[in-house]
Amino acid sequence: MKNRQRHQLKSRKGSEKEHMGKRKGICLLSLCLLMLFAGGCGTIKNGNESNDGIREQEEPIVIRFAWWGEQARNDKTREAVALFMEKNPDILVQTVSLPFETYYENMDIFVETGYMPDVWQGYVGANNNLLHAGLIEPLEVYVDRGLISIEDISKSLLETGMIDGKLYGISLGCNVKCMMVIPECFRKANLEIPEEGYKSWEALEADLIKIKENGIAPVAGHVFDRDFTFEYFCLQRGETKFTGSGKAEIGFSKNTYVDYYRMWLRWEEEGLIPPYIATYMLRKQPDAEETQPEYVVSFLYSNQFEQRSEKSKYRLELLPLPGMEDVGGMEIRPGMHICMSSISEHKEAAARLIDFLINDMEANQILNAERGMPASVKVRNALLPGFNETQLEMARLIEFAEQHSISTGQITGDDNRALDAGVQGGLMEELEQQIMLRQIEPQDAYIILSERFGGKG
């Protein structure tokens, strides 16, 4: 079984040898983390024999569960897992939490060393090594068998875990892209916050300029990001970031690309956002969130709102992103997916853990919407009376999004890392740096991009 895991993943890695030096260093950490899989998982008890010599209880089935997160998430998740084992004494769950920055590299190493988790947290489509190697188990069969219930999860949210019609992951929570504002600063500038969000980017920009004129600068932060804002900007134009054609290929036009980066350059020149070089250096730091100032307007995922609110000295509000009507609604996104290994030796036990984390009321009370509002509408509504004000604000926005939800088809099984690997590289990252450092014009950058990865002209 372990040899099979190694063979399946290595068959996808001929082009990744240049990363092996870095990965060997991470491997030492991973092997240490493997030792921690036993942490918090209880004690295996031997079965007892009755008077007639028949064993009354077999040793529990052992499965592994991995996720990334900070200490608060770790504590809540382990408490929920402990409750699962209390309710399912025939299953023993070994747990490990990994750093987000090296999460998928560690997952690959787990596979190579023969210790792939049976269940893990992730984003469907984020690590296509595992998908292409056939290591992610489609979950429909467990739904059909009644082991996993999805009847209270919306169709649009379920679709975020599907590729080519197969359900590879189920959302542990749901959130939406949104903007967070400080109402007090708007009042000081004699501005009213539009209840259902700004109709356009230009309307938001005009108000930000007025707030800046009132003595606050930079006004906005966490605004321009390819995986967040640019993806949304493409949707406003009826386009997508990637085509989903089966190969790395851009799905946006020259006008969309140029307009996005010209707006970013203009906002920087107007002093509405921090300089690019400052934000670039900050986002590479592990404590970036802690070291940045509090902005009047920030873009974020709704499940981040509670933590931001706790740290703020102001009362905060959530709004849809600008120009929601241009998109046709709001895209409901997974807080993160929970997935199963296709080579798990205990798939039924893994399915029971997945169902428990999604549908058990007590478990979700413990998890407390930290990964986003519960995916199950039934669970979410049951928890509403116990939500604090910031959680209620999040729940209201999710409810609004469900009434105006759209499906974007953005999740694909394509390997787009040469095109865009986030802060880790890719041609889009290289060209963005050159644009924002005024080394190349956006329209010239698009020509380079389209020559290598297609384009819509």
What global pTM score does this model have? 0.75
Read off the pLDDT of residues 427-442 as tens digits, 9 standing for 90 and up: 999 999 999 999 999 9
Same domain, 134 and 282: no
Position 41 pLDDT exceeds 50: no
Q: What is the structure's pLDDT at 46?
A: 36
Same domain, 295 and 194: yes
Q: Rounded CA gap, 178 and 176, in Å?
A: 6
Read off the pLDDT of residues 106-150 as tens digits, 9 standing for 90 and up: 888 998 888 899 999 998 876 667 888 899 999 999 999 999 999
Same domain, 346 and 315: no
Listing DSSP states for 22-41 in one string gives HHHHHHHHHHHHHHHTTTT-
Same domain, 120 and 231: no
CATH number for 213: 3.40.190.10
Q: What is the structure's pLDDT at 362?
A: 97
Read off the pLDDT of residues 3-12 as tens digits, 9 standing for 90 and up: 545 445 444 4
Q: Look at 33 and 342; give whichever has higher pLDDT.
A: 342
Q: In the chain, how many domains are there?
A: 2
Residue 384: how many CB atoms within 10 A of its CB?
11
DSSP-derived letter for residue 192 is: P
Mean pLDDT value of segment 183-210: 95
Same domain, 247 and 100: no
Tokens of 8: 């399946």
Helix (H, G, I), strand (E, B) or coil at 260: helix
Q: Which residue has the tokens 């049951």?
A: 382
Mean pLDDT value of segment 17-43: 46
Same domain, 436 and 290: yes
Same domain, 38 and 126: yes
Same domain, 70 and 197: no
Counted residue by residue, the chain has a size of 457
Mean pLDDT of the residues in the chain: 84
Q: What is the structure's pLDDT at 51?
A: 42
Helix (H, G, I), strand (E, B) or coil at 339: strand
Same domain, 306 and 203: yes
Determine contact, residues 173/374, Cβ cutoff 8 Å: yes
Same domain, 266 and 155: no
Confidence of residue 48 (pLDDT cuts 50, 70, 90): very low
Question: Is residue 319 one of the residues assigned to a domain?
Answer: yes
Q: Which of 406, 429, 404, 409 is nearest to 419 (CA)?
A: 429
Q: What is the structure's pLDDT at 195?
A: 87
Confidence of residue 13 (pLDDT cuts 50, 70, 90): very low
Same domain, 128 and 239: no
Q: Rounded CA gap, 166 and 343, in Å?
A: 17
Q: What is the structure's pLDDT at 330?
A: 79
DSSP-derived letter for residue 43 is: -
Same domain, 278 and 198: yes
Q: What is the structure's pLDDT at 290?
A: 55
Question: Is residue 392 one of the residues assigned to a domain?
Answer: no
Q: Rounded CA gap, 255 and 259, in Å?
A: 6
Question: Is residue 398 one of the residues assigned to a domain?
Answer: no
Range of the domain at 362: 2-173+335-385
Question: Is residue 263 one of the residues assigned to a domain?
Answer: yes
Tokens of 267: 């906002």
Q: What is the structure's pLDDT at 102?
A: 83
Read off the pLDDT of residues 139-164 as tens digits, 9 standing for 90 and up: 999 999 999 999 999 888 898 899 88
Confidence of residue 52 (pLDDT cuts 50, 70, 90): very low
Question: Is residue 402 one of the residues assigned to a domain?
Answer: no
Q: What is the structure's pLDDT at 155?
A: 85
